């Protein structure tokens, strides 16, 4: 959601803060601001709109500060406006803070503070924290006194005028990371904010407070006791966070997928031994009686594919649940249940709360995640990293491919050890697997064909995406990508359900993207195409190369290289992503920062 950057060191703080906010733009925001310790006082500048608007407001002003905080806000409480933008201050402007998350009891706190004579300048929940931090005692003592009053989720970065050159950070259910440079330090909601300066990071845990000055850092628990922390080296480089000549991050990340697939299987697929190996799962038990996958959005679609892989390869029943629903039920779990938690960022609020509930009920947790040291990986019993690298585009692309790949490999790994893989399955799949990156690159080389197709359809208002079997989750994902970045209404359907209601929607100005697939379902899906055409609907069909029957029925055809059926989603997703991208491009939409969306949903 919102972005936080804090800096203390010898550089001009404003330059570092604005650069960090630029690198956090992908998280989604509607306003931006900075606070600087300047000659014994705190100066706050904040504006609604993009960071460029803030920079215009700052133009012509001179600052010497070496310590400051910055923020990009995604509105939760209070409309996007200058007075609701962060940073927020107390009544006397003796401190300034930025906040990610939601203070759930802010109304009660605000009413108490108003009764005590405090004057509020915003409608945000965040401002109450600034007022609560007023009073006697050292800054650390006031933070320790305030935290028990707060309910909800928060990452805070705080400046106190009385303590020049010092930053405080606080974490509770919302990510905050310390970046450690050479005589300089950073606090940020995500690693790319400081990756230009350092790859050394400390991941704060819930209930921890960090005090940072140019002389060093120390971490305290909310009880006041000091904590020892591990310094990680982040396995990303600054270049990976740049567009590399592509018009948008999303397009760059679509093109990175062949390499992501290679990185994800590297060291895990042993062709010589005919095995799939996971060093991180050496102690993984084989006797779970049930799997529950919990995730949100795109990650949930990956979980739906994972269900099909696991049930086929491992013969274990799998339920797939939206984490936002799962966490508010009383699910039936026990020590024989494996909860498969899938999240690109590892900070998705609903998924984290679902995992906490599952642990309370005795279930074991396997995380599929892309971010080293994230909250999810610290909660899990086992973690398999997806190795997708930094994903900046809000609409997930390469992370989804990596999730699908990991879940497929996990199914093969578990099924082989359990003895449930059908004879010859491992051998045939491992023989075909090395050809997939080349086939993905073939699809990418045809992207101009997809662009031409997008020009035919970008003015349509409604899309249906239909698929069966492995292609049903892909239909959901294709529809999600289109609506996320082009704002076109799109609905993913199990193709067999079309006659049970959705067929009423078919008319000439409704487009259907039909994923044909292989096997016994193919003929059924061809029947769906016939039904749509009989009602004068427009059909784009995705099918294997050389399928003349499909070409004779559909209005437009997108072909993918032939592969084994189990791998077909890994190829088919590429044209679906490209189609969504080029439709959005033709419509003039902001592809990397679609309206109302954020990269990582760290609040409910």
Q: E strands, 204-252, where?
A: 208-213, 216-221, 226-227, 232-233
Q: CB-based contacts of 528: which residues, under 8 Å, 6+ apart? A: 466, 495, 498, 514
Beta bridge partners of 270: 275
Cα separation of 70 and 157, whole Å? Answer: 9
Q: Are 106 and 128 in contact (CB under 8 A)?
A: yes
For the question of residue 599 being annotated catalytic, the response is yes
Query: Residue 425 and residue 412: Cα distance in Å, rounded?
Result: 9
In terms of Cα–Cα distance, which of 265, 564, 571, 258 is closest to 428?
Answer: 564
CB 218 within 8 A of CB 202: no
Identify whether 2 is a catalytic site residue.
Answer: yes
Catalytic residue among 252, 538, 553, 599: 599
**Spatial contact of 152 and 206, defined as CB atoms under 8 Å apart:** no
Q: How far is CA 273 from CA 97, 280, 431, 465, 560, in A?
A: 56, 19, 12, 40, 30
Tell me the backbone φ, ψ of residue 173, rounded to 5 degrees.
Answer: 65, 15
End-to-end CA distance of the chain: 11
Catalytic residue among 2, 67, 300, 589: 2
Give CA–CA dist 28/242, Å, rounded. 17
**265: closest CA among 141, 170, 385?**
385
Geometric angle at alpha carbon 319, from 317 and 324, rounded to 5° = 165
Q: Which residues pair with 35 in a beta bridge?
A: 44, 69
- Separation of alpha carbons 402 and 264, rounded Å: 6
128-138: b (≥16 Cβ within 10 Å) or e: bbbbbbbeeee
Kindly list the catalytic residues. Answer: 2, 599
């Amino acid at each position: 959601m919102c972005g936080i950057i804090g800096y203390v060191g010898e550089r001009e703080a404003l330059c570092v803060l604005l650069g960090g906010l630029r690198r956090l733009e992908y998280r989604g925001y509607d306003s931006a601001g900075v606070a600087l310790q300047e000659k014994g006082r705190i100066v706050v500048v904040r504006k609604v709109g993009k960071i460029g608007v803030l920079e215009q407001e700052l133009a012509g002003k001179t600052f010497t500060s070496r310590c400051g905080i910055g923020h990009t806000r995604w509105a939760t409480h209070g409309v996007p406006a200058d007075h609701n933008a962060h940073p927020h201050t107390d009544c006397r402007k003796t401190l300034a803070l930025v906040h990610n998350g939601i203070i759930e009891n802010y109304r009660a706190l605000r009413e108490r503070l108003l009764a005590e004579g405090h004057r509020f300048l915003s409608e945000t929940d965040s401002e109450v924290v600034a007022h609560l931090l007023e009073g006697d005692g050292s800054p650390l003592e006031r933070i320790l006194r305030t935290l028990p009053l707060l309910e909800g989720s928060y990452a805070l970065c705080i400046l106190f005028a009385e303590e020049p050159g010092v930053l405080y950070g606080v974490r509770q259910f919302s990510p905050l990371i310390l970046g450690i440079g050479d005589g300089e330090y950073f606090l940020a909601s995500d690693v790319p904010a400081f990756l230009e300066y350092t790859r050394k990071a400390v991941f704060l845990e819930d209930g921890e407070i960090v005090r940072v000055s140019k002389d060093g850092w120390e971490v305290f628990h909310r009880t006041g006791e000091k904590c020892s922390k591990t310094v990680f080296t982040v396995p990303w480089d600054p270049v990976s966070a740049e567009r590399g000549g592509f018009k948008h991050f999303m397009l760059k990340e679509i093109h990175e997928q062949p390499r992501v697939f290679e990185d994800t299987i590297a060291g895990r697929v042993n062709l010589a031994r005919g095995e799939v190996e996971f060093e991180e799962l050496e102690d993984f038990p084989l006797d779970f009686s049930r799997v529950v996958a919990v995730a949100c959005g795109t990650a949930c679609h990956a979980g739906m594919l994972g269900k099909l892989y696991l049930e086929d390869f491992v013969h274990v029943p799998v339920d797939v649940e939206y984490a936002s629903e799962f966490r508010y039920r009383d699910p039936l779990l026990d020590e024989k249940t494996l909860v498969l938690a899938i999240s690109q960022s590892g900070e998705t609020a609903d998924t984290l709360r679902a995992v906490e509930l599952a642990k309370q009920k005795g279930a074991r947790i396997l995380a599929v995640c892309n971010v080293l040291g994230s909250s999810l990986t610290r909660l899990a019993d086992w973690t398999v990293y997806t190795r997708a690298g930094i994903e900046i585009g809000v609409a997930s692309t390469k992370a989804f491919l990596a999730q699908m790949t990991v879940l497929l490999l996990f199914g093969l790994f578990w099924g082989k050890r359990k003895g449930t893989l059908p004879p010859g399955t491992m051998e045939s799949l491992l023989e075909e697997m090395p050809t997939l990156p080349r086939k993905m690159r073939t699809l990418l080389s045809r992207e101009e064909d997809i662009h031409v197709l997008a020009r035919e359809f970008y003015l349509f208002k409604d899309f249906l995406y239909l698929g069966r079997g492995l292609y049903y989750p892909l239909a959901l994902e294709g529809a999600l990508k289109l609506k996320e970045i082009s704002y076109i209404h799109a609905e993913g359907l199990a193709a067999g359900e079309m006659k049970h209601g959705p067929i009423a929607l078919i008319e000439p100005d409704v487009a259907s993207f039909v994923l044909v697939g292989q096997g016994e379902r193919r003929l059924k899906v061809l029947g769906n195409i016939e039904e749509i055409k009989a009602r004068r609907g427009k059909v784009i069909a995705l099918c294997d190369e050389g399928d003349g029957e499909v070409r004779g029925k559909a209005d437009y055809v997108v072909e993918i290289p032939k592969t084994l059926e189990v791998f077909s989603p890994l190829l088919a997703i590429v044209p679906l992503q490209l189609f969504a991208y080029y439709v959005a491009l033709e419509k003039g939409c902001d592809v990397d920062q679609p309206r109302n969306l954020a990269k990582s949903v760290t609040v409910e």
